[in-house]
Amino acid sequence: MIVAGLETSLATLEWTMAELINHPRVMSKAQEEIDSVVGRARALQESDLPSLPYVEAIVKESLRLHPAAPLGLPHVNPKPVKLGGYTIPGGCKVLVNIWAIGRDPARWADPEAFQPERFLGSSISVNGQNFDFLPFSSGRRVCPGYPLAMRSILFFVASLLQAFDWSAANPAGIDMEERTRSMTTKLKADLLVNASIRVDQNII
């Protein structure tokens, strides 16, 4: 459980930073939110997270486009069922394509675009109750660690954005090609970045 939680959280953090570096307007807007809530003279605290809705929207949008486990965990139906006009025999191993759900043009406007604003003022949660957005699966098979994962990823992203300005080491930007070797999907190429300090150095 610990290994699974670490690998998926690290993959999500990497995808989120890659998207932010490729979308400097979004990064700047998030940093403005952090500066207005926390400033640059003290380190961000976990208690600041509820006051950062745009940073939360960024993480949700990253999870929509890049779910760490794109096919989730296997499910098995004990009895035959009909679903979407198909009969699924009993005892089948069923994989839900979470990646495709998050990019379905019938469910999402401009689904390939990184637009955190789509989650602002939205009641869509990561807890599996909205079937258009299932980054941690749903029901009895929902990831038991999702509350911790969301808080830790939010904290890491906000802390990195507060402390540093980020840019791609390659002037062409970050290559977003995917690589899948296990249950998780990661960037195919290493994430090479430049970082410059933007806060009082005594808080780093």
- Is the pLDDT at 130 greater than 90, yes or no? no
pLDDT, one tens digit per residue, over 137-193 is: 777 777 777 778 889 999 999 999 999 999 999 988 899 998 876 677 888 999 999
Query: pLDDT over 70 for what percent of the chain?
Result: 96
Residue range 74-83: average pLDDT? Answer: 87
Residue 54 to residue 116: CA distance in whole angstroms: 7
How would residue 73 be classed by pLDDT, with cut points 50, 70 and 90?
A: confident
Two tokens, residue 94: 């069923």
Residue 34 to residue 43: CA distance in whole angstroms: 11
Between β-strands 185-187 and 178-180, what pairing exists: parallel, antiparallel or unpaired? Answer: antiparallel
* pLDDT of res. 182: 66
Measured at the CA of 74, the angle between CA 69 and CA 80, to 5 degrees, comes to 145
* pLDDT of res. 5: 67
Residue-number span of the structural domain to which 62 is assigned: 2-203
Total count of domains within the chain? 1
Long-range pairs for 130-134: beta carbons < 8 A, 24 or more residues apart:
131/101, 132/101, 132/102, 132/104, 132/107, 132/108, 133/60, 133/63, 133/64, 133/101, 133/102, 134/67, 134/72, 134/96, 134/98, 134/101, 134/102
CATH assignment at residue 15: 1.10.630.10
What are the residues facing 82 on neighbouring strands?
87
Alpha helices (runs of H) in 66-108, residue ranges in sequence order: 98-102
* pLDDT of res. 4: 63
